Every structure is written in C-alpha cells, then in structure tokens.
Structure 1
Amino acid sequence: MGEQGLSNLERRYRRLLRVLPKWYRRDREEEMVGLFLADRTDELDLEHGWPGWGETAAMFGLAVRTHLAAGAAFTNVPAKVVWRGEIVRALGMIGLLLGVFFAGAAITQLAVAYGNPAWAPEISWWRLLEIGPIVAFAALLGGRRTLAKVSALAPVLLAVASLGEYRYVLLWSAFQVPSLVTFVCLCLGFHREAPTPPARRLLWWGGGAVLLGVLGGFASGLGLIVVGLVTVAMRVVAFVRGDFVLGRALSLFAVLQLAPLAFLLVGGEALVLALPIVVLLVFSALAPVRKPRLS
C-alpha cells in the first residue's frame, strides 16, 4: 500500500510495525493497523496523533518474540528465524553455566577469606552478588524467568560496585562481559513463548560447573583454562555432530572468553597454558559451522 491517502497517524503505525519481521507483517499488517485505528477517528488525532506508549512497548515485545521465535507459538516461521532464537537461548544457557562456574569460585574465595582474618578486609559484602548465577540457573530451570533474569544481572553490578575500588574496575568489568551478554540473551531469548530448558539434563551440567568453580577458586586462572578447553572440545563435538545451533553459540561464547584470558596473558599468570587456549578459542570462533538445509 502506498503512502498517498494515508493519515499521519496511520503512517506512524506502519513505521512502528517495521520492527516486526517481514514474514509476520505479510499476513497481519493490515489487520493490526485496522485494530490500532478502530477507536481513533478524531480528525485532529489522525493528523497529529502518535502510537501510545503501551502499544509501542507491546510492539517491541512482539518484535523480540517473532525475531527469536520458538516452538509452535507462531505459524509459517522461516527456519532461519527458529535457528536464530535457538542460538540466542543456547548462548544464554552456556553463559549462565559460566556464571555458575564463577559463582563456585566465589564461594571458595569467600569461604577462605572468612576463615582467614588477614584476607577478610579484601572481601566486601557485595561480592555475594557473584552467587547470583546459581539462583538464576535454578530459577530458569524451574520456569521462574523473571527471577532468573534479575539474578543473572547481579554479577554485572559488581563492576558498578567496584567503582569505589579503582584497582578492580577494569579487571571485574572484563570478567563481567560474559555475564552482561548472558543477561541480554536471557531477556531476549527466553520470552513467554520460549520453552523451559530441560532441567534433568542441565542439572548435571550445572552441578559440574559449580564443582569446577569451587576447585578453580583455589588456583587463580586455572579454572578459566579448563573452561576454555571444554569450550574447544564441545565446539569440535558440535561440528562432528553437525549441530548448527550449539556450534554457532559456542563460537560466540569463545569470543566472550578472550577478555578474561587476556588478563592472564598480560599478568603473566599461567602464560604457558593460557596462550594456546587463546589460540584455540580464536580458531573455534572463526571455524566454519555446518549449516543445515533451509526449508
């Protein structure tokens, strides 16, 4: 439909609808515009009116759900859209497992500091926020998505809290980049139409991440190296199995690990181990992913 003969309000509604994917607008745009304009018949409103804040918010929420579609919530969804949503959800879950690993390491460090008066002044109470990913993981598997998203954001607040301790700002900020990306992926990917992750299978991964973190808390940097090795190994498995979603998510996850490992290289910690892991992660990020056939 051309722009000629349309009211300014209708033009604005049609512009707002452009946040939706073409495949969704193709069958629903005219119906949606008609519903928006049904009760707005005043000539002055048609000339100078704008879409309401509630309508705009609802439209952006619908845009997220349609661009990252899941399950049978929508019909005639292109395969690439379904894959995109699955990749975002997979990246969110992988990042959350990394957060669970960091939480395990934090538990060790807090326990050691609590039992050692010489270390206690170095531990601030707000470091308890580092345990947030464990709460987020359990909440997400239990279907409590709002609690999961709020809890996943908790570690990111460490970078803000560290502003009072300038020595740690850059370090903690680099380590919280994966947490921030995880929070964004959880918010975008686990919308109301998205399925709840399979708890039985993921509980084993979550328990392993906590255990690995607890052990890694005793050896600074070693846990990150193990996580890097696991990422590379799983990336190879995903390629061999032809798992496009897991492979793409792991490629992105490999990039997120480079910043924390860079600090190990700059600081000279575990240099002999960290450098090969960085190289392998770069290769994992750049390596091709077997693309499934488009339907």
Structure 2
Amino acid sequence: MRNLERRYRTLLKVLPKWYRRDREEEMVGIFLAERNDDLDLEHSWPGWGETFAVLGLAVRTHLAAGAALTGVPGKVVWRGEVVRALGMIGLLLGLFYGVAAIVNLAVAYGNPAFAPGITWWWLLELGPIVAFAALLSGRRTLAKIAAAAPVVLALGSLGQPQYMLLWGVFQLPSIVTFVCLCLGFHREAPTPPVRRLVWWGGGAMVLGLLGGFATGAGLLAVGLITVIVRVVAFVRGDVVLGRAVSLFAVLQLVPLVFLVVAGSEILVPAAGLALLLVLTAVAPVRRPSAQGFRV
C-alpha cells in the first residue's frame, strides 16, 4: 500500500463503520484515479477540498436522517433525531430570551438609569427569533448564521469583564443550540414540523414577555415546562424527545445554579426546580414504538 492510499484510508476513518464497509474501496479508488505518479503516491496528501467533503459526509452519516442513505442503523437515525430535537428546543429557549430582551429594552428606553447600558450588542439577542423563522421556512444556512448571534454576544463579553460570567452562564444553551443546528440540520435532514413548532414558538414568546417583566419568573417557568414535557415524553414513550429534553434540563441547571449561588430573591423556587431538573436529566426513558420529534 502506497503512502497516499494509506492517508486516504486514515481520513475515511472519520466515517462510521457501517458506511465504510460498503463504500471505502469505491471511495479510495475514486480518490486515487489518475494519480499514477510514483512521487505523488509516496509524498502527497489528500487535498483540502477532499478533506472537507469527507468531514461533511461524516456529519451526515453519523447524524443520518435516513432520507438519502440506505442501510442506516436505527441508533444512527435516533442519534440524529435527538440532536435535531435538542437544537429546536434550544431555539425555543432563544425565542424566550429574545422576547425578554425586547421587553427589557422597551422598559429601559427613556429611563436615564438604564439607557447608558443599552448597546448594539443587545440586538444579537434577537438572532434566535430570526433563526427560528428561517429554519421553519427551509432557509437552513440563514438559520445557522442567525443562531450564531448569541454566541457572538458571549464572545463579545470577553471585552466586558463585568458581564462575562453572567452572559457566559445564560448563553451556554445558545452555544449548544448553534452546534446542534450546524450538525443536525444538514442538507439531507428532514424539515421540522412547522405547524406544531409555530404553537410552541408562540408559547415561548409569551413566556418571554413574562420573563421580561419579572426577572427570574420566566426562567422558572421554562424549567417547569421542561419537567412537564419530559414527563409527557416518558408517558408517550418518545425516546427522542425524552433524551433531548434530558440534555436540555442539564443546560437549564447552569443558570438556575447561578441564581441559587447569587442569592436571588427566588432562591427557594430555583433550588427546588434545580432538584427537579436533576431528576429529569437522570430519569429513564421508555423505549418508543415509533421515533420522532413529537411535541
């Protein structure tokens, strides 16, 4: 085996075994076609274009939707559905934060005590609203770009140490959401169920209004709804939604613990809800009769 072929086979190891078993020889043959020079075969490396193409294929196969791939193991389909469900749940939380930010800006507008703290960075809080609408309309690239706005907000806080911890804590779910959207909603992934998610999006925006006027109350409501949805997923035997909500519960624990440590006026409810979220995260999920993001 020549060095170039060995390097191509090493690159292909990022693909799942079930895919390589049927396609590896064919792919290596295509890569090595018309590369007959001995010097090239000994000292060359896979090109950047080929490398990125294989990495993109690795994402699509490890998080397969089953639409354009054959022989996909059930656990691979399940894994992709969980990632996509977690991304959508994170966007719903982003709607909550976005609407709450709008309410905060409206309350602060014209108030000299708060006006100096209003900057253009606050506009990045609206990114999830744009991402949610774009994803439901099929514009996945725009959705991913918009979902990156809170991530930029968290990075921007590095230049403002007084906000770094606060923003970092509350933007952690947004960072995870952005990663899930990039990985899960590839070009072969299914379109999210628009009608159901519109209703859930409306509920998240209503909670955002509550969160904008009553600091901490909206966050508690989101945590309580997380627990309720997890119970519903268990009763219905929806393992995809159950696993996604379990992971989401872990993300919700971070800001709640922050409120508890900071000695918030909602200390007791926050501590109680944090305990419920811990139970939500570790509770078992009944195996479903049919998988899917059913909300």
TM-score (norm 1): 0.96
1:272 is paired with a residue whose SS is: helix
In structure 2, the residue matched to 1:64 is 59
d(CA) in 2 for partners of 1:74, 1:160: 37
d(CA) in 2 for partners of 1:128, 1:188: 25
In structure 2, the residue matched to 1:197 is 192
Summarize deviations over 1:83-132 as a string: whole Å, max 9, x none. 00000000000011001100010000011111322211122121110011
d(CA) in 2 for partners of 1:162, 1:67: 34
d(CA) in 2 for partners of 1:272, 1:292: 36
d(CA) in 1 for partners of 2:287, 2:110: 52
In structure 1, the residue matched to 2:222 is 227
Q: CA deviation at 1:254?
A: 0.3
Q: CA deviation at 1:199?
A: 1.2
TM-score (norm 2): 0.96
Match among 10, 15, 31 for residue 15 of structure 1: 10
Q: Any unmatched runs of 5+ in structure 2?
A: 291-295
In structure 1, the residue matched to 2:131 is 136
Aligned 8 A contact 2:66 2:72 in 1: no
Aligned 8 A contact 1:106 1:214 in 2: no
Q: CA deviation at 1:196?
A: 1.3
Q: Which amino acid aligns with 1:10?
A: E
1:94 is paired with a residue whose SS is: helix
Q: CA deviation at 1:291?
A: 2.9
1:1-295 → structure 2 map (5 Å cutoff): 6-269=1-264, 270-292=266-288
Q: CA deviation at 1:273?
A: 0.7
Q: 110-119 vs 39-48, which deviates more?
A: 110-119
d(CA) in 2 for partners of 1:191, 1:21: 17
Percentage identity across paired residues of the two chains: 74
d(CA) in 1 for partners of 2:126, 2:110: 19
Q: Any unmatched runs of 5+ in structure 1?
A: 1-5
Aligned 8 A contact 1:96 1:137 in 2: yes
Aligned 8 A contact 2:35 2:41 in 1: yes
How many aligned residue pairs are there? 289
d(CA) in 1 for partners of 2:186, 2:155: 27
In structure 2, the residue matched to 1:3 is none
d(CA) in 1 for partners of 2:80, 2:100: 31
Q: CA deviation at 1:293?
A: 7.8
d(CA) in 1 for partners of 2:179, 2:154: 16
Q: Which amino acid aligns with 2:33?
A: A
Aligned 8 A contact 1:136 1:148 in 2: yes
d(CA) in 1 for partners of 2:34, 2:206: 59
1:175 is paired with a residue whose SS is: helix
